[in-house]
Amino acid sequence: MVEVASSVVYDVLGQRAQDVDKPIIDYIINVLADEDFDWGAEGEGAFEALGELLIDSGCVTDYSECRSVCRRLSEKFGNHGLVKQKQAVRSLATPLRMFDGMDEEEAPKKKPQELDGPVLSERDRLKLERRKRKEERQREAQYQMHLAEMEAVKAGMPVVCVNHDSGAGGPAVKDIHMENFNVSVGGRDLIIDGSVTLSFGRHYGLVGRNGTGKTTFLRHMALHAIDGIPKNCQILHVEQEVVGDDTSALQCVLNSDVERTQLLEEEARLLALQREMEFEGATGKSNKNINGGTNKDNVSQRLEEIYKRLEFIDAYSAESRAASILALTL
């Protein structure tokens, strides 16, 4: 193919091809002899690829002659069967008609496929409908039973509050070891010979299908109905679904310490009462007995008891401890 390309190039360029350096002519021949070379329309591809080189090397004098030479080269290469026709490339921006190339006649509609097998009789169809309604009633009954069990479990849950007197005087055990325990509800065994170990500082997940006893197991743990749960360990449960409000997550944890909340509220009320007594004393009014026999000594004594109890339950560090609990759950 290179030999044919060489003879065509020398034939078209004539004597000027002899005057040009051989490496330049060889380069032109090799480019045009490439099987994948795109000649374009009327040699436009050759002009774009070699036009500048043909002019600079002196093979042609100007662009007009260069286009003419490239057109003749394309014709002669085509006569020798060396120009391959390139498939037309369609612009993506060109509108496309979906029915191009399709027959104008309406396509015949596909006939419905006939199914082999017996056709259901009216009696069989009624049987299937009755069976379907029966299955729906069974599923509804199972769902209502599940809801009733959840309500019963919820009713049996202990009150969600911190008990500061639990395990008082005993060792502060942090790990939980429950071995060979059984859990049943309504005469149905949910867990038989179960063993669970929960280490302090670790995160655990309880996974299982509905009705397998997950909530019942947690209720037994919260009630200390399983041996192996330390007396100083308190297990608090939260609702699976709650109504959203402006209460922060930190405040929700603090609200579980009911005793602390009540003591702080009583402290604020007594301090306000104490200030009121001092104000009335400064204005010359008698403050011996006000508000049903309450006097300054009784208020002071009760405040002292509240401060001792707040110190005992470590109330003033409750917020930092609640924040650490939330951090463990992230």
**Which CATH number goes with the domain that contains 177?**
3.40.50.300
The verdict on 25 and 68 lying in the same domain is yes
Cα separation, 87 vs 85, in Å, equals 7
Spatial CB neighbours of 243, under 8 Å, sequence gap ≥ 6: none
Q: Does residue 228 form part of some domain?
A: yes
Spatial CB neighbours of 32, under 8 Å, sequence gap ≥ 6: 5, 8, 9, 46, 50, 73, 77
Q: Which two tokens stand for residue 314?
A: 């470590």
Q: Are strands 188-198 and 176-185 parallel, antiparallel or unpaired?
A: antiparallel
Which single residue is written with the structure tokens 């009954």?
141
**Per-residue pLDDT of the chain in tens (330 residues, 90 and over written 9):** 677 778 888 888 888 877 888 888 888 878 887 777 777 777 788 888 888 888 888 888 888 888 888 888 888 887 777 666 555 555 555 566 665 555 556 666 666 666 555 667 788 888 888 899 989 888 888 777 766 766 665 665 555 566 666 555 566 778 899 999 888 876 678 888 989 999 887 888 888 887 777 888 888 888 888 888 888 787 777 666 666 778 888 888 787 788 888 888 888 998 888 888 888 777 765 545 444 455 788 888 888 898 888 888 888 888 888 888 777 665
- The helix (H) or strand (E) run that includes residue 191 is strand 188-198
Q: Does residue 218 form part of some domain?
A: yes
- Give the residues across from 184 on adjacent strands: 189
For the chain, the domain total comes to 3
pLDDT at position 73 is: 83
The verdict on 173 and 214 lying in the same domain is yes
pLDDT at position 6 is: 81
Q: Does residue 193 form part of some domain?
A: yes
**DSSP 3-state assignment of 182?**
strand
Report the half-sphere exposure of 16 (CA within 13 A, side-chain side).
13
The verdict on 255 and 236 lying in the same domain is no
pTM over 0.85: no
Q: Does residue 60 form part of some domain?
A: yes
Q: Which two tokens stand for residue 38?
A: 């795109």
Q: Does residue 304 form part of some domain?
A: yes
Cα separation, 78 vs 73, in Å, equals 8
DSSP 166: T
The verdict on 309 and 262 lying in the same domain is yes
Question: How high does pLDDT run on average in the chain?
Answer: 77
Single-letter code of the amino acid located at 250: L
The verdict on 226 and 299 lying in the same domain is no
DSSP 306: H
Q: Does residue 283 form part of some domain?
A: yes
Residue where a domain terminates, one of 79, 108, 137: 79
Q: What is the pLDDT of residues 164-211, one digit of tens each?
A: 665 555 667 788 999 998 888 766 788 889 899 998 878 888 888 877
Task: Look up the domain containing 262 and give its range.
Answer: 249-329
Q: What is the pLDDT of residues 55-82, one digit of tens each?
A: 888 888 888 888 888 888 888 887 777 6
Q: Does residue 180 form part of some domain?
A: yes
